[in-house]
Structure 1
Amino acid sequence: MIGHTPTVRNDLDQIRAAFVGTPLAGLPIGHGPAGTVLVADVDPDRLHPAWQAADALVPVLGRRPVLVTDDFDGTLRFRPEPEPGPSESELRAFAEAAEASDPWSIYHHYSEDEEVYEGEVGYYARGVAGVALTALVSDVALPTERQALERTLYDRLLADADLHARVFASVRFLTRTDYWYTPNSVLLMLLPTSDIRSSGYWVDFYGALTSEYQRRLAEVLAQWRHRWDARLVASWGTMLQFQVGRPPAPGDEAWAAAGQLKALAPNLDLNRWEVAVALSAGDAWFVHNRP
């Protein structure tokens, strides 16, 4: 259900009052683009606490928060008057189309189609983070699909506690908030909806430049929230950052999540088996998709 409270979402004074006692207290507030509200001068060193304060107020304000930056976008500025956003019917149609879509039919990582031939196993089993695991898959018949090789490697890695600990130590940076990108100038954008899918209408992401991809991204937001309690914290244009409340368990869950993350983030320079190891023990996801 698409949820918001019109009189609350347009009342800047009420938003200011709700911010009292939070890291957002006293910050400049104004009308943003397409029905949003912008909160300026967010401390880059306290991004996560600022977002968490706004996220806790969603039931009060009816507005879902996302951190944005004007480092690359000159349109993110206060408007003198509220700027109309999409109509109720338009937003409902957007959310319904998103729910009916299959995001993973178009978000597809190129590595899923690769095959591994003689002499190439060491490259895929070495790992970007520097732990070589060629011996774990030395008996795999070649050629084979890359994803089959990586899944075999991942399963065998899970059975070796010492090797798994070494790999985890090398890839744990991926799911830590200190790995997140920090812009010079940060604003908090309060979207005029509390609905997860509908919020995708306003998300600026290089991986969703068309209306079709925008709807698919909205469905990703809804699926990840339902399955992993993954909440969108920031959208920096080519990067998305998520707080994750239920990290996937090692095995099938982590493997599935790693595949989806790689599909959405083609510029994430880790193998899928490395991502799967990292995702089971961290509460912060980083998506990178750039030209």
Structure 2
Amino acid sequence: MKGSELLAEATATLTGAGVPDGGRDARRLLAHVLRVPPARLTLFLPEEVDPDLTVIFRVLIERRCERIPISHLIGRRLFYGREFLVSRDVLDPRPETETLIEAALSEPVSRFLDLGTGSGCIALTLAAELPNATGIATDLSHKALDVAFWNRNSLGLTDRVAFLEGSWFVPLARGQRFDLIVSNPPYIAYDEMDGLTREVRDHEPRMALTDEADGLNAYRQIGASAGRHLTPGGRLLLETGPTQAEAVSAILRAAGLGEVSVIRDLDGRDRVVSARRT
């Protein structure tokens, strides 16, 4: 079959299965199978597709109909201009998290800490964008850290970021301090989980999504200890859900942090709460 015929077939299959924007997903998967840049796929559509590649493509379409995320099918996700390995063991990097990166880069940084690093996309992006900075990233999941280690090696940042296994600040040596602490913690409330898309609810690690409570427990834990690990004037940047900024701000003020403010993402939604050890 020609690429154009395969694409039409796949689009119809995905649309019939209720997958949103099936044509877009079909194009991304076909570009992946043919190993061509997605932007240049149109040039290859008139050509015949190898039968073996046709089989592979159709299998991927079937799995997408099961609502397995595109990133899990191709094993990669683009974040802040770099490709990261992803799997069902890590939270899929999302465009809105780039708001956190932009806020972090708005001031000089020499030493940073990323809490709950997952794929490592935040910590490794900071290291890549800040060539004179070094950092530590922690995560409770050994499987997530395996993914982060792979990404670190792929980006050539083995001497810039250290990964430690454990909950939040627990793996740190006594007295370690940072001029920047960042985190994208689990903030989905338990009663909101059923409202998530199947791609997220069924295929991303639950512990990275929810605290099984009101969605604020991680902020309480981080806020309570952040001051002891920040240098004077050091910043804390936390990604939040779009309705949580006020509650998270109150938590950080109660913990003794100052200059608390809210940063919106490109869609105008509250996305990052910033605070400082004054």
Per the normalisation by structure 2, the TM-score is 0.25
Per the normalisation by structure 1, the TM-score is 0.24
Q: Counting strand residues as a fraction of each chain, which structure ranks higher?
A: 2
